[in-house]
Structures are given as structure tokens and as C-alpha cells.
Structure 1
Amino acid sequence: MGSALITQDILSRLLAREKSQGDRAAVRQRASESGFADATALKAWVEAQRAAEQAALSRRR
């Protein structure tokens, strides 16, 4: 059986891609567990909450 040479650059890119895929999968799972249709719906909800919070802070001033 032969062996393959993997450079540090190739290994770094492979690991970064795997991490990115894992991160996206975790976000999809969290969105689903929280009752959102997908990660986009979760993001929209978070942005709306932040906007409401900022508006509430502005009204207090």
C-alpha cells in the first residue's frame, strides 16, 4: 500500500473545511431544536431581537 504526502497547507485547508462544515451543521441543529425552519429564520429572529433591544434602549434616553 502506498503513502501520500500531505503538505501542511493542504492539511490546514482540509481541517478548516471540516471545521466549517461542523459549525454549519451545529447551527442547523440548534435552529431545528429551537423550533426554527432553518438557520436563516434563526438569524432573522436574533436580528429582530437585537433591533428591539436597541429601540428600547433608545427610548429610555
Structure 2
Amino acid sequence: MPGQHITHRQEELYMQHRQQGMTQEIAAAKSAISPRTARRIEQSNTLPRAKADRDWRTR
């Protein structure tokens, strides 16, 4: 899907707005992400941007 990746800070900001009682659309707009991305964040079972450590070496 085209577009820019969201930052960890945007996810944190979105969740803070949601905890304050804002709707998905308003919280997404205030954190500069799309409402569709906001739904993905809320449906995710993992922690926000959980670091995926690799178990292989890179050059």
C-alpha cells in the first residue's frame, strides 16, 4: 500500500487521544494518520510498534 510509514510517536499520540475519550476519526486526525490506520492500531494484538528482533545476522 503506498504512503509513508507511521512513527512510534504517532501511535502513542493516537492512543493518548483515544484514552481521553476522543473518537477514532478525531484522534487519527490529531495524530496525522488515516482512520483506516487507526482501526488497524486498535485491532492489533501486539504492543504499539513492538520491535521485531531478528535472529539472523546481516552484513
Under a length normalisation based on structure 1, what TM-score does the superposition of the two structures give? Answer: 0.30
Structure number with greater CO (CA < 8 Å, separation at least 6) is: 2
Give the TM-score taking structure 2 as reference length.
Answer: 0.31
Greater CA radius of gyration, 1 or 2?
1
| Structure with higher helix content | 1
